[in-house]
Amino acid sequence: MGPRVQETHMPVTIRLARAGDIPSLEVLIPHSARSLQAGYYSPEQIEGAIGTVFGVDSQLIADGTYFVAERDGRIVGCGGWSKRQALYGGNRDRAGADPLLNPACEPARIRAFFIHPDFARLGIGRQLMTSSETAALQAGFNSIEIVATLAGEPLYASFGYVVIERFPIVLANGSSMPVVRMAKAYEEPRSKAEG
Ligand SMILES: CC(C)(COP(=O)(O)OP(=O)(O)OC[C@H]1O[C@@H](n2cnc3c(N)ncnc32)[C@H](O)[C@@H]1OP(=O)(O)O)[C@@H](O)C(=O)NCCC(=O)NCCS
């Protein structure tokens, strides 16, 4: 079967990201952040986060847990989940491996959602979230955590994630960025969900 086309506001094709997508993602992510986070963070905060907090985590692509949304063959959004410990950030400056989580007792992560500004608020983030949550549950997790930007918080709140704590991330340029840790637990015990 080919990639799914999900009909909502904006029909896009959601497919797993490939290593060959990385150059496009390295353009999309800063463009999305500079535009869609402008109402939430200062230019200094956004520039301080680009490349480190906002960057490609190629481990997610290698794991097959990162998705892209395509429209007419062009990547217009990305986002995914993780079965590993890191809560946020690209892997450019990561020292060593990112250890695997235990699905029986640890929450999966939602990671790195970025939509092209021309395609914002058209339901693409929602489609990527649905794909990510479904895949994380299929992998055996029954809770999910996110360290979200303030720009991302309304999307995740609309999926039922609740705020656990707010804290600042110290950035490479010395500024800091307030973020929010959010979580969601599923009611179905894993044994039931597995049938
Ligand atoms: C956050 C982001 C991924 C949302 O993607 P999106 O495709 O625009 O979101 P959707 O259109 O799927 O929105 C789904 C729901 O989320 C909520 N939502 C999304 N963006 C919102 C906003 N700017 N203000 C208020 N609610 C918002 C709404 O409930 C929306 O449903 P509605 O449009 O029917 O009201 C996008 O704004 C983005 O890329 N931001 C910059 C990067 C970033 O900060 N990413 C989050 C990293 S944790």
**What is the full DSSP assignment across 118-161?**
GGTTSSHHHHHHHHHHHHHHHTT--EEEEEE-TTTHHHHHHTT-
Q: Determine if ligand 1 sits within 6 Å of the CB of residue 126.
A: yes
Output the CA 63–ligand 1 centroid distance in Å: 25
Q: Determine if ligand 1 sits within 6 Å of the CB of residue 182.
A: no
Q: Determine if ligand 1 sits within 6 Å of the CB of residue 155.
A: yes
Residue 133 within any structural domain of the chain: yes
105 is in which domain, residue-wise? 4-88+101-193
Q: 5 or 127: whose pLDDT is higher?
A: 127
Give the pLDDT confidence score for residue 57 in this predicted structure: 97
Ligand 1 atom nearest to CA at 37: 41
Q: Name the domain count of the chain.
A: 1
Q: Give the span between the Cα atoms of 166 and 2, in whole angstroms.
A: 41
Q: Determine if ligand 1 sits within 6 Å of the CB of residue 31.
A: no
Output the CA 48–ligand 1 centroid distance in Å: 22
Give the pLDDT confidence score for residue 161 in this predicted structure: 98
Pairing of strands 162-170, 143-148: unpaired
Greatest alpha-carbon pair distance for the chain in Å reads 50
pTM of this prediction? 0.93
Residue 101 banded pLDDT, cuts 50, 70, 90: very high
Residue 145 within any structural domain of the chain: yes
Give the pLDDT confidence score for residue 93 in this predicted structure: 82
Output the CA 154–ligand 1 centroid distance in Å: 6
Q: What is the pLDDT of residues 129-187, one digit of tens each?
A: 999 999 999 999 999 999 999 999 999 999 999 999 999 999 999 999 999 999 999 87
Residue range 41-54: mean pLDDT, rounded: 97
Would you call 138 exposed, middle or buried from its count of C-beta atoms within 10 A (0-12, 13-18, 19+)?
exposed
Q: Determine if ligand 1 sits within 6 Å of the CB of residue 87.
A: no
Output the CA 152–ligand 1 centroid distance in Å: 6
Residue 93 within any structural domain of the chain: no
The enclosing domain of 184 has a CATH number of 3.40.630.30
Q: Is the pLDDT of residue 87 over 60?
A: yes
Q: Determine if ligand 1 sits within 6 Å of the CB of residue 120.
A: yes
